[in-house]
Amino acid sequence: MLDILVRAARLPDAKLPADIAIRDGRIVEIAPRIEAQAARVIDAAGQLVAPPFVDPHFHMDATLSLGLPRLNRSGTLLEGIALWGELKPLLTPEAVMERALRYCDLAVSQGLLAIRSHVDVCDDRLTATEALLEVRRRVAPYIDLQLVAFPQDGLYRSPNAEKNLLRALDMGVDVVGGIPHFERTMQAGTDSVRRLCEIAADRGLPVDLHCDESDDPLSRHIETLAAETLRLGLQGRATGSHCTSMHSMDNYYASKLIPLIAEAGLHIIPNPLINITLQGRSDTYPRRRGLTRIAELRAAGVNVALGQDCTMDPWYPLGSADMLEVAHMGIHAVPMTSREAMAWAFRSVTQGGAAAMGLPDPTLRVGGPASLVILQARDPIEAIRLRATRLYVLREGRILAETAPRQARLSLPGRPETLDPAAYAPIAED
Ligand SMILES: [Zn+2]
């Protein structure tokens, strides 16, 4: 007897639908037709069944705080940091937890079941750290939440940042964070990268730095991160987040830098929703886009995982915990519209994010956990195009969320009465 039988599931890379049998939280069989009793049968009807989404870069301490204590008028990163500085002394653990848990509810409804969140440790009370550690404990049954000790105001620029960062790690925060481009000088930024990598090496932890989130082509902290990763043997557990200065770098320098990033096994996490809005703000025209060199990094074999970064906070007024929206913006902002690249964008917000977070490969397979999302779309590209409805969200065989399919009722002379947004165009083949 099975717990759940999913009929006619279209796996991301499969041409034909298959049935998926689930027992005791695991996938026990995938076959064209499975004849077995099940406590519950879900008819996927040929729709896409994919691994859950992963967001490897988020700020859960600030999420859903839009307008507190005021709005970001310039729309810049720096006003966002200043605004967050005004909000920080007003934070209470209860308010941080309440917003974070509300966000996690939204995330589950969107099939987003693994999140790496930075948490600002430049607050002597460590209010947000304590609150998010409690949130991590509470959501553990349904979300893999990793926390990064993030010295938002600079490891050296903020007086107690290093002490507080070490305290946060002692309290159980998972990852070492940093923001070298926000230190007072290039040299202080370089020193901070070295120190943070040494802390990660000493403690056996991953390191994930906000690196060169700047339009300054001479912001080259990613180079130091790669070199320190090699020096200290941190390959595979070091990440450069944002890396937007690479967009503006001299091409010759970039041609030397990208192989170094690959050699160091760095993960790179671009955040398209945020950087398409934050970067280029001091340009007149032409105005720069705000993404790192995704195509070139991919071609060099680097794991590039798209992140969301923000939802309704001092830096970004929009966002909806929707990693398909993140992939959609990435495709536009790079731009990368080949079918290969668009299919990659879907893997980037599933398998790519899991690799960056050091989680097991979530590809759906026999013997693996029955953690999956059934989408109202027939393939990954259509899912991105439609930001498809998550019909079912399962974690280890348990249904966490269900959403009714989107369907419009039409009143048009001589036309069909209903419209399923996922079924009015053929799937394109390569
Ligand atoms: Zn960030």
Q: What's the whole-number mean pLDDT along residues 192-197?
A: 98
Exposed e or buried b per residue across 24-42, where buried means at least 16 C-beta atoms within 10 angstroms of its C-beta: eebbbbbeeebeeebeeeb
Q: In a 3-state reduction of DSSP, which class is residue 293?
A: coil
For ligand 1, the distance from its centroid to the CA atom of residue 278, given in whole angstroms, is 12
Q: List the CATH code of the domain at 2-50+364-419.
A: 2.30.40.10
User: Has residue 430 got a pLDDT over 90?
Assistant: no
Separation between Cα atoms, residue 326 and residue 103, nearest integer Å: 16
Reported as a single tens digit per residue, the pLDDT across 57-77 is 999 999 999 999 999 999 999
The predicted pLDDT at position 421 comes to 77
Whose structure tokens read 């065989």? 397
Q: What's the whole-number mean pLDDT along residues 44-67?
A: 97
User: Has residue 154 got a pLDDT over 70?
Assistant: yes
| CATH 2.30.40.10 domain extents, the chain | 2-50+364-419
Residue type, 109: S
Question: Is-catalytic flag, 429?
Answer: no
419: left (phi over 0), alpha (psi -120 to 50) or beta: beta
Separation between Cα atoms, residue 70 and residue 206, nearest integer Å: 35
Cα–Cα distance list, 245 to 6, 133, 216, 238, 394 (Å): 45, 32, 6, 18, 39
What is the phi/psi pair of residue 79, to 5°? Answer: -65, -35
**Which of 130, 162, 213, 402 is an active site residue?**
213
- Counting residues of the chain whose pLDDT is more than 90, the rounded percentage is 96
| CATH number of 53-356, picked from 3.90.1150.10, 3.20.20.140, 3.40.190.10, 2.40.50.140 | 3.20.20.140
| CATH 3.20.20.140 domain extents, the chain | 53-356
For ligand 1, the distance from its centroid to the CA atom of residue 118, given in whole angstroms, is 7
For ligand 1, the distance from its centroid to the CA atom of residue 57, given in whole angstroms, is 6
pTM to 2 decimal places: 0.97
